[in-house]
Structure 1
Amino acid sequence: MSHSSTDPLTGPLDGPLTDHLSDPLTDPIAPPPSAPRGAPPVGPPPPPPVGGHPVGPPPPSPPPVAVPEGDAPAEPRRFMTATDFLDRRDNEATLGPATWGWRGRVRRWSGGLIKPAMGAAERSYEADRAAIQKDFDGPRTIAFVNPKGGAAKTTGVLAAGYTFGTVRGGGVIAWDNNETRGTLGIRGTRSTHRNTTRELLEDLGRFADVYQSRIGDLGAFVRSQGDAHFDVLASDERPDVTGVIHATDFADVHALLERFYRILLIDTGNNLRAENWLAAAGAADLLVVTSTIREDTGYSGLWMLDALQDAGHENLKYKTITVLSDPSPKVDEALARDLVQVYEQRTRGVHRVPYDPALVSGSVVPYAQLSAETRRSWLRACAAMATAL
Structure 2
Amino acid sequence: MSNEPNESTELSEPWITAVARADGTGMISVDGAQSDIRANDVAEVRAAIIARVTDEAKARNQRVLVAITDLDGVYLLSVHPDGNVESEGPVVPDAGAAAQGATAAESGTEPAHTQEPEPETRPTRQPSPAEGPARGAGPTRAVLNPAFGEATPVIPPPPFGIDDLIDFAESGSEPTPHHDKGFEPAPTRRSTFRSYSEESDLSQNNSGSAAPAEGAPSATARSAAGKTAEEPASVEATEPTFDQLLPTPGRREKASASSTEGEPEAAPTLEDFLQSRPSAPEGPAKQGWQGAVRRVTGGLISPRPGKAERAHRDAIRRVQRSLKGPRTIVVLNPKGGAHKTTATLLLAATFGTHRGGSTLAWDNNETRGTLGWRAQPSVHSNTAVDLLRDLGRFSDVESARVGYLDNYVRGQGDAQFDVLASDEDAAASSTIDADAFRSLHSTLSRFYRVLVIDTGNNMRASNWEAAVEAADQLVVVTTVNEETAASAAWLIDGLRQKGHQDKVSQAVTILSSPGDTVQPELTQRLRSHFSALTRVVLEVPYDPGFQGGGPLNVDVLSPQTREAWLQVTAAVADGL
Task: Give the alignment's TM-score, normalised by structure 2.
Answer: 0.54
Correspondence list, 1:167-316, <5 A: 167-316=354-503
Q: Quick one: which amino acid aligns to residue 362 of structure 2?
A: W
The 1:317/1:198 distance shift into structure 2, 3 A limit, reads: closer
Residues 225 and 232, structure 1, Cα contact 8 Å, conserved in 2: yes
The separation in 1 between residues aligned to 2:374 and 2:518, in whole angstroms, is 24
Once the two structures are superposed, residues 91-144 of structure 1 have per-residue CA deviations (whole angstroms, 9 ceiling, x without a partner) of 332222111122112222222222211111111110000000001110000000
| Paired residue secondary structure (1:176) | strand
Letter in 2 for 1:71: E
Amino acid at match of 2:295: R
Q: Aligned residues: percent identity? A: 48
CA contact (8 A) 1:176 1:235 kept: yes
Residue correspondence of structure 1 range 104-183 to structure 2 within 5 A: 104-183=291-370
Q: In the TM superposition, what whole-angstrom CA distance separates every residue of 1:21-50 from its partner, at most 9, and x where no partner exists?
A: xxxxxxxxxxxxxxxxxxxxxxxxxxxxxx
Letter in 2 for 1:269: G
| Conservation of the 8 A alpha-carbon contact between 2:331 and 2:455 | yes
Which amino acid letter does the alignment assign opposite residue 195 of structure 1? N
Report the secondary structure of 1:259's partner residue.
coil
Q: Give the number of the structure with larger relative contact order, counting CA–CA contacts within 8 Å between residues 6 or more apart.
A: 1
Equivalent residue for 1:322, pick from 487, 509, 517 = 509
Q: Residue 222 of structure 1 contacts residue 233 of structure 1 at CA under 8 Å; is this kept in 2?
A: yes
Give the alignment partner of residue 264 of structure 2, picking from 74, 94, 97. Answer: 74
Note the alpha carbon deviations across 1:274-316, whole angstroms, 9 max, x for none: 0100000111001100000000110001101111111121313
Counterpart-to-counterpart distance in 2, 1:259 and 1:70: 43
Residue aligned with 2:532, SS: helix
**Partners of 1:153 and 1:75 in 2: CA distance:** 54
Among residues 508, 532, 536, which one is paired with 1:345 in the alignment? 532
Structure 1 residues 341 and 88, CA gap change in structure 2 (3 angstroms): same
Would you say 1:373 and 2:560 are equivalent positions? yes
Deviations 1:228-274 (A, max 9, x none): 10000000001114112111000000011100000000000000010
Q: Which moved more, 1:336-345 or 1:110-119?
A: 110-119
- Residue type of the alignment partner of 1:96: G
Once the two structures are TM-superposed, the CA of residue 86 in structure 1 deviates from its matched residue by 4.4
Q: Is this contact kept in 2: 1:139–1:263, CA < 8 A? A: yes
Deviation at residue 331 of structure 1 after TM alignment: 3.1
Aligned residue for 2:325, secondary structure, equals coil
- Aligned match of 1:45: none
Which letter maps to 2:376? T
- 1:94 has 2:281 as partner: yes
Q: Tell me the distance in 2 between the aligned counterparts of 1:128 and 1:185.
A: 28
Q: Tell me by how many angstroms 1:359 deviates.
A: 1.6
Whether the aligned pair in 1 keeps the contact of 2:474 and 2:504 (CA below 8 Å) is no
Native 8 Å contact 2:410 2:420 kept in 1: yes
Secondary structure at the residue paired with 1:323?
Answer: strand
1:50-91 per-residue CA deviation (whole Å, 9 max, x = no partner) reads xxxxxxxxxxxxxxxxxxx9613222653x73x5554444x3
Q: For residues 171-208 of structure 1, what are the alpha-carbon distances to aligned partners after superposition, in whole Å with 9 as ceiling and x for unaligned?
A: 10000000111000000000010000011111111111
In 2, the alpha carbon distance for the partners of 1:353 and 1:115 equals 32
Unpaired runs of 5+ residues, structure 1, are: 1-68
Q: Tell me if the contact between 1:285 and 1:319 (Cα under 8 Å) persists in the aligned partners.
A: no
User: After the TM superposition, which of the residue ranges 323-332 and 93-102 deviates more from structure 2?
Assistant: 93-102
CA distance in 2, matches of 1:85, 1:358: 49
Q: Indicate the SS of the match to 1:278.
A: helix
How far apart, in 2, do the equivalents of 1:117 and 1:88 lie?
A: 25
SS at match of 2:446: helix
> Which whole-Å CA distance do the structure 1 matches of 2:341 and 2:443 have between them?
22
Inter-CA distance 84–111: structure 2 relative to 1 (3 Å threshold)? farther
Structure 2 counterpart SS, 1:141:
strand
Would you say the 8 A contact 1:140–1:264 is kept in 2?
yes
Look up the equivalent residue of 2:337 and give its one-letter code.
G
SS of equivalent residue, structure 2 residue 463: helix
CA distance in 1, matches of 2:272, 2:500: 42
CA contact 2:338–2:478 (8 Å) conserved in 1: yes
Larger-Rg structure: 1
Helix, strand or coil for the counterpart of 1:260? coil
Instruction: Please give the TM-score of this superposition, normalised by the length of structure 1.
Output: 0.79
Q: What SS class does the counterpart of residue 173 from structure 1 fall into?
A: strand
Whole-angstrom distance in 1 between the partners of 2:501 and 2:338: 24
- Structure 1 CA distance for aligned equivalents of residues 533 and 547 of structure 2: 27
AA aligned opposite 1:197: A
Judging changes above 3 Å, is the alpha-carbon distance between structure 1 residues 364 and 76 closer, same or farther for their aligned structure 2 residues? Answer: closer
Contact between 2:339 and 2:477, CA under 8 Å: does it hold in 1?
A: yes
* Shift of residue 369, structure 1, vs aligned partner: 0.4
RMSD over aligned Cα atoms: 1.7
Q: Give aligned pairs, total.
A: 319
Other-structure match for 1:55: none
